[in-house]
Structure 1
Amino acid sequence: MKALIQLALIATIVVVLLRMTTARGARTQAIRRLGLFAFAAFAVYSIIFPSVWVRLARAVGVGRGTDLVLYVLAIAFLGYMMSTHLRFREMDVRFTRLSRRIALDEAAARHPEVASRSQGQPAATVMRPEDMTDVPDPEADPSDDPR
């Protein structure tokens, strides 16, 4: 009977990992919310009737109710870690895209002729070195600086 609970716990962990790594969108978020609601409801029930864990533990082949609580919390924590990791990874991708877009927009605002060339349109004027006042000259002697 002990091997049965071990297989069930390992299978649950694998399912949680697969579900968290492949699923996206509103459906996954709804399932997560339903799972959280069910977890909270069962937590309240187990506070009112603490012997439920002992009966469940014996039914699945675990020695004590506290051990079963530990196993359930380990699986819940694993699910939480995976969902948090995926959310942070998606936010990182979004921030990278946003920062790239801002950098391109700022570059286009400073030098519109460069932006028009990058979009496949011929530039109206050619940028001269004296037009680039915000770019320091690497060959200039610092002692010649009039400031």
Structure 2
Amino acid sequence: MSRQSVIQVLLILGTLGVAWRLLVGSGQRTQAVRRIGLLLLAALAIYSIIDPSGTWTRIARWFGIGRGADLILYGLVVAFLGFVVTTYKRFRAMETRYTRLARRIALDEARPAAEHARSTGSPDTLSAELPPSPSVKTSDAD
């Protein structure tokens, strides 16, 4: 197995590992892993600023990659994938919370069935257009 195929396998495994870990975990442990990853990335960035010329190129050549810049790019692609997956999970969780909140508000502001039956004469029929409740602004009702 050539060195280039070794790095390809490692990058694929790293990408799959990041994606799996971020999709499965959502607790304090995952948050701690993310923080440690961020600290490692910051340390590597500082080291790259201090010694930009030789170290990354030597590491890249050991893995079978031509330049250190390419190795850094591959690492950033894996980190970006982790960011995208994390952002997607947060967005979905926020969407779920907003949906639950909207349902709760709708239930809280709904008229009781007995009051509805008195106003329409029948519990099975709905009255015509009801004005929005005082707590809902006209612009929010859209």
Query: Could you report, residue by residue, the CA deviation over 1:21-68 in whole angstroms, capped at 9, with x for unpaired residues?
Result: 111111111110111011011100111011221121012111111110
Who is 2:140 aligned against? none
Using a 3 Å threshold, how does the CA distance of structure 1 residues 45 and 126 change in structure 2: closer, same or farther?
Answer: same
Match of residue 136, structure 1, among 104, 129, 138: 129
Please give the TM-score of this superposition, normalised by the length of structure 1.
Answer: 0.76
1:72 matched to 2:75? The reply is yes
Using a 3 Å threshold, how does the CA distance of structure 1 residues 135 and 69 change in structure 2: closer, same or farther?
Answer: same
Runs of 4+ in 1 over 3 A off after TM superposition: 123-126, 134-137
| 1:3 partner letter | S
Who is 2:31 aligned against? 29
Please give the TM-score of this superposition, normalised by the length of structure 2.
Answer: 0.79
Secondary structure at the residue paired with 1:128?
helix
1:97 matched to 2:100? The reply is yes
Sequence identity (%): 48
Map 1:1-147; keep pairs closer than 5 Å.
1-50=3-52, 51-107=54-110, 111-112=111-112, 114=113, 123=114, 126-129=117-120, 135-136=128-129
RMSD: 2.4
| Offset at residue 73 of structure 1 (A) | 0.8
CA distance in 2, matches of 1:125, 1:35: 57
Secondary structure at the residue paired with 1:136?
coil
| 2:12 partner letter | I
* Residue-pair matches, total: 124
CA distance in 2, matches of 1:59, 1:96: 51
Using a 3 Å threshold, how does the CA distance of structure 1 residues 106 and 47 change in structure 2: closer, same or farther?
Answer: same
Unaligned runs of 5+ in 2: 122-126, 131-142
| Offset at residue 14 of structure 1 (A) | 0.7
CA distance in 1, matches of 2:70, 2:38: 21
